[in-house]
């Protein structure tokens, strides 16, 4: 029976993005945010039962102490850890509904029926153990960016860095990318991406790699990454070396409060800021080498 570890914290509404991003950076499979009647927010991260949850808690408490020192009023009110079995996971899945990300892109779970209208593109994603169901603002930003950049710039080759559920690779193929390479260091994510590629009949159009970016060869017209700020900055030189001459780098997973940190990190490696767009408390940015 599938078991997960659910780590929940109660935080002020102004701190929800900070803690959601941090939990994702600690390898949470997914994160949920629930607004309470008192204005506070429960941020819950779902982890593999194999995770060292004591280490995660220690990291989270250190982060909380750091925020208390630099940001007035941002602090965790309560920590809670519980194991959830398959039946509880199924109840959580019922919260995942079909979402219209853009005028054309629709993301649906397997249990929802949806008939596409006109030029709509329907993508089926199983929200199991990999991040990227299309509901989180950072994923929506990436999909919006992919639609805009693939259409306007005619990009044909795409690298999906930290593919999670594979949703961005699938979107890229559906929008006309001729070559897509996806990689993730998490074996669970790679397996889930493989299933979702098959579910959407694009297995033959995406090359899937389990490993780090240094195992990826070649140059790409568009690189997309929806991961933590720390990882984006760490991989900036690797991104740059894999961009084609007029290639574009689309980055998401960036809390609005950390936008300057991310832009500074990229520009320090001579990646030039092109544009940015925002959804809620999250932003996405586009960079180039020219």
d(CA 107, CA 112): 10
pLDDT band at 130 (very low <50, low <70, confident <90, very high): very low
Could you tell me the sign of the dihedral formed by the alpha carbons of 140, 105, 126, 98, in that order?
A: positive
Which DSSP symbol is given to 271?
Answer: P
Residue 256 CB burial class (10 angstroms; 0-12, 13-18, ≥19): middle
Give mean pLDDT, residues 236-258. 93
pLDDT band at 90 (very low <50, low <70, confident <90, very high): low
d(CA 280, CA 119): 27
The pLDDT tens digits for 4-30 are 788 998 988 778 878 887 887 787 777
Architecture of domain 99-288: 3-Layer(aba) Sandwich (3.40)
Within the chain, all domains assigned CATH 3.30.70.120 are found at 4-93
User: Is this structure's pTM higher than 0.85?
Assistant: no
3 or 270, which is more confident? 270
Within the chain, all domains assigned CATH 3.40.50.150 are found at 99-288
Q: Enter the tokens of residue 128.
A: 């199991």
pLDDT at 153 over 60: no
pLDDT at 172 over 90: yes
CATH number belonging to domain 4-93: 3.30.70.120
Averaged pLDDT of the chain = 86
């Amino acid at each position: 029976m599938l078991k997960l570890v659910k780590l929940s914290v109660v935080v002020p509404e102004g701190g929800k993005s900070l803690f959601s991003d941090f939990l994702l950076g600690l390898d949470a499979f997914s994160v949920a945010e629930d607004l309470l009647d008192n204005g506070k927010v429960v941020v819950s991260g779902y982890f593999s039962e194999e995770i060292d949850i004591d280490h995660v808690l220690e990291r989270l408490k250190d982060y909380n102490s750091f925020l208390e020192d630099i940001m007035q009023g941002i602090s965790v009110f309560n920590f809670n850890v519980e194991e959830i079995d398959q039946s509880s996971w199924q109840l959580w899945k019922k919260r995942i509904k079909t979402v219209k990300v853009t005028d054309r892109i629709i993301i649906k779970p397997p249990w929802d029926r949806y008939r596409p209208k006109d030029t709509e593109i329907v993508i089926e994603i199983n929200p199991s153990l990999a991040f990227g169901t299309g509901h989180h603002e950072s994923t929506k930003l990436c999909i919006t960016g992919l639609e805009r950049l693939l259409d306007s710039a005619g990009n044909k080759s795409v690298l999906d860095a930290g593919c999670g559920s594979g949703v961005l690779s699938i979107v890229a193929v559906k929008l006309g990318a001729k070559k897509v390479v996806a990689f993730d260091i998490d074996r669970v994510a790679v397996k889930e991406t493989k299933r979702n590629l098959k579910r959407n009949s694009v297995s033959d159009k995406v090359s899937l790699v389990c490993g780090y970016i240094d195992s990826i060869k070649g140059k790409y017209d568009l690189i997309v990454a929806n991961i933590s700020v720390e990882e984006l900055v760490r991989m900036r030189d690797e991104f740059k070396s894999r961009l084609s001459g007029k290639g574009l780098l689309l980055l998401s997973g960036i809390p609005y409060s950390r936008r300057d940190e991310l832009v500074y990190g990229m520009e320090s490696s001579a990646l030039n800021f092109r544009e940015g767009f925002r959804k809620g408390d999250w932003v996405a940015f586009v960079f180039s080498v020219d």
